[in-house]
Amino acid sequence: MSGARDPLSQSGVFPTTSWSSLLQSAQADADLRRRTLEKLFVTYWRPVYCCARFGWKLSPEDAEDAVQSFFLELLERDFPEGIAEGRGRFRNYLKKALKHFLLNVRRDRGRAKRGGLVRLFPLEEARQIASREGDPEQIFDQEWIKTLLQRAREWLREDLMAEKKEAYYRVFELYDLGEGSMTYQEAAGRIGISESDVRNYLHAARDRFRSVVIQLVRDYAVDAEDAGEELGWVLG
pLDDT tens per residue across span 186-223: 999 999 999 999 999 999 999 999 999 999 998 888 77
Q: What is the pLDDT of residue 73?
A: 82
Q: Looking at the predicted structure, is the pLDDT value of residue 32 above 50? A: yes
* Total domains in the fold of the chain: 1
Per-residue pLDDT reduced to its tens digit, 37-71? 777 788 889 999 999 999 999 999 889 888 888 88
Output the pLDDT for position 13: 37
Residue 2 lies in a domain: no
Q: Looking at the domain assignment, is residue 187 inside a domain?
A: yes
Q: What does pTM read for this prediction?
A: 0.81
pLDDT of residue 162: 96
Please give the Cα distance from 208 to 202 (Å, whole number). Answer: 10
In a domain, 11, yes or no: no
What mean pLDDT value characterizes the chain? 81
Give me the pLDDT at residue 75, please: 73
- Residue 71 domain-assigned (yes or no): yes
CA distance to 42, 83, 90, per residue, from 222 (Å): 20, 8, 6
Q: What is the pLDDT of residue 54?
A: 96
* Structural domain includes residue 172: yes
Within 8 A by CB and 6+ apart from 20, the residues are: 80, 83, 84, 90, 220, 222
pLDDT value of residue 199 = 96
Contact 113, 64 (CB under 8 A): no
State percent of the chain over pLDDT 90: 42
Top pLDDT among 73 and 137 is at 137
Q: Which residues contact 28 (CB under 8 A, 6 or more apart)?
A: none
Domain with 157, as residue range(s), is 19-235
What does the pLDDT read at residue 157?
96
For residue 148, being part of any structural domain is answered with yes
Residue 134 lies inside a defined structural domain of this protein: yes
- Residue 5 resides in a domain: no
Report the pLDDT value the prediction gives residue 175, as an integer from 0 to 100. 92
Q: Are 59 and 98 in contact (CB under 8 A)?
A: no
